[in-house]
Amino acid sequence: MDWNNRIAVVTGAGGTLCSEIAAFLAGKGVKVVLIGRTAAKLEKTAEAIAKVGGVCRIEPGDVTDEPRMREIAEKVSSEWGLCHILVNGAGGNNINAMSTLTQFDARELDNSLEEGERGFLGLDMAAFESVLKINTLGTVIPSRIFGAQMARDGGGSILNFASMNTYRPLTRVAAYAMSKAAILNFTQWLANYFAPANIRVNAVAPGFFVNERSVKYLRTPDGGLSQRGKNVMQHTPLQRFGEAKELLGCVEWLLDDDKAAFVTGITVPVDGGFLASTGV
Residues marked active site are found at: 176
Nearby residues of 132 by Cβ (< 8 Å), 6 or more positions away:
175, 178, 179
Cα(149)–Cα(151) distance, rounded to whole angstroms?
5
Instruction: State the DSSP string of 225-280.
Output: B-HHHHHHHHT-TT-S-B-GGGGHHHHHHHH-TTTTTT--S-EEEESTTGGG----
Q: Give me the torsion for CA of 179, 183, 184, 189, rounded to 10°.
A: 130
Instruction: State the DSSP string of 158-191.
Output: EEEE--GGGTS--TT-HHHHHHHHHHHHHHHHHH
Residue pair 50/25 in contact (Cβ under 8 Å)? The answer is: no
For residue 169, the Cα-to-chain-centroid distance in whole angstroms is 17
Cα(221)–Cα(226) distance, rounded to whole angstroms?
9
Q: For 171, phi and psi rounded to 5 degrees?
A: -65, 150
Cα(253)–Cα(234) distance, rounded to whole angstroms?
30
List residues bridging with 33 in a β-sheet: 9, 57
